[in-house]
Structure 1
């Protein structure tokens, strides 16, 4: 048989190998894509940031006149910090969205997301943001701008993970720091509001105060339940951010073996954990 007669069979074999290779690649990136998609859904963090920003609006009704001035000053500081806090989250989300895109077959434009990143973050002793977090934010946004503006040319999952891991881990550390700061602020709010009832109710002993005391106790119970839910949400937010950090660390440690069964299995477990955490974070206090 001549070489010419071998060409159809050889062509068919090449096509089969190419299709088989593509199918393997698609399967191998599925867990990476799922992990990136779940990691990008950090809505619980944004909601906790908004709650932090609006602390004074909730406290105002309960503050005595002597504490009003301090409350207003603190409110101004919180609102100034809020945009910095959200910027860190937006950078992490856009990174994960980009990683998911690289791990998938579809190609869509994330350029408009770059304009929404914000003006950066600033170090702040009170919140725990440090200069390393500022530097990481700058590095992350520059990398994302470069990657997205170039149309992802020359980028793969491996290069994205390798180049982004250090800044991503530092930004996740910033988000963990801020989440714990939010929890501390919420604890102070809880003590302020519930403390008023603890002090005032025992002194309302007149018969004509009975209805007022009853309403106050009901309100107290409702607020106590609200803070109990929130305490859990802060714990879950910390768990979620930690899972994202550990999952990406696993990617970085296995750059040459991301198609490996063990890595894929570990990522799949992180995806399941993140889904459970998101469900817990969806509990909405009044």
Structure 2
């Protein structure tokens, strides 16, 4: 009886050590993947820049002539019509990274509600650089996420997620970088409209009775110049961050056969550090 009981206890202990050891190893070896995915999902910047792009007309309208205002209103309608689609691209990339983080960790939580927030589709917008390939990638990645999340992540691993999602993810990150450049170009045009008035009018306002008005105009000009420099900095940081996300995920895709390799983990840790620094920069209000 005692011998039988001892064998049972030993067997239970062996099973516990086996599965406990595997779980511990998996948690440690994939921690860098989880942290990289978390940092990618929390990068930020793009959503705020999208909102700024949408609201361009609100800021530039006071500086427009009557003729220019008519064209600006038409552009405003186009921007607002495209805004939800542009946001959907980011929401899909973020949800993918959240799902990857979940698969790399030892927690399980339901992301089903976030599927409803992705939107019903993506349309091509020629002026912005959104093409049919981006539409196809959006459809592919949303289908993958729906499949994975709706199934409760059954049979899905980090390796399979990265393998199945990389191509579409890379295309959508490319779309986000393209859109960020488009936002920057729109902001550059706005800056020319707003600051251009002051560049033209201030030098000719040299009458003594205009002194107070000119002083106020110069202060306003300075404040707007600072605003535009800060925004330009954020466009650059947002594109740097998106490039880091792309490179990190591609590194994962290229090393599926050695997912827990030391070199890969070090590389991901570096990308994670870079993404956190970029995120801090995006929230910095200084120039």
Task: Give the aligned CA root-mean-square deviation in angstroms.
Answer: 1.6
Counterpart-to-counterpart distance in 1, 2:95 and 2:24: 27
User: Distance between the aligned counterparts of 2:180 and 2:130, measured in 1?
Assistant: 11
The 3-state SS of whatever aligns with 2:19 is helix
The corresponding residue for 1:234 is 235
Question: Equivalent residues in 2 for 1:20-39 (5 A)?
Answer: 20-39=21-40
Deviation at 1:12, TM superposition (A): 2.5
Moved over 3 A (4+): 2-11
Corresponding residue of 2:59: 58
Taking the aligned partners of 1:4 and 1:284, their CA distance within structure 2 comes to 68
- Give the structure 1 partner of residue 176 of structure 2: 175
Cα shift at 1:6? 4.8
> What is the alpha-carbon distance in structure 2 between the residues aligned to residue 184 and residue 13 of structure 1?
63
Say which SS state the counterpart of residue 43 (structure 1) adopts. coil
Q: Give 1:98-117 correspondences, 5 Å limit.
A: 98-117=99-118
- Give the corresponding residue for 1:249: 250
Name the counterpart of 1:75. 76
Contact (CA 8 Å) 2:34, 2:104: kept in 1 or not? yes
Q: How does 1:46-195 map to 2 (within 5 A)?
A: 46-195=47-196
Give the CA deviation at 1:10. 4.4
Q: How many corresponding residue pairs?
A: 285
Which segments of 5 or more consecutive residues in structure 2 lack a partner in the other structure? none
In the TM superposition, 1:183-222 aligns within 5 A as 183-222=184-223
* TM-score under structure 1 length normalisation: 0.96
Task: Give the whole-Å Cα distance in 2 for the aligned partners of 1:4 and 1:219.
Answer: 85
Aligned to 1:17: 18
- State the alpha-carbon separation in 2 of the partners of residues 245 and 62 from structure 1: 39
1:42–1:93 CA contact under 8 A, matched in 2: no
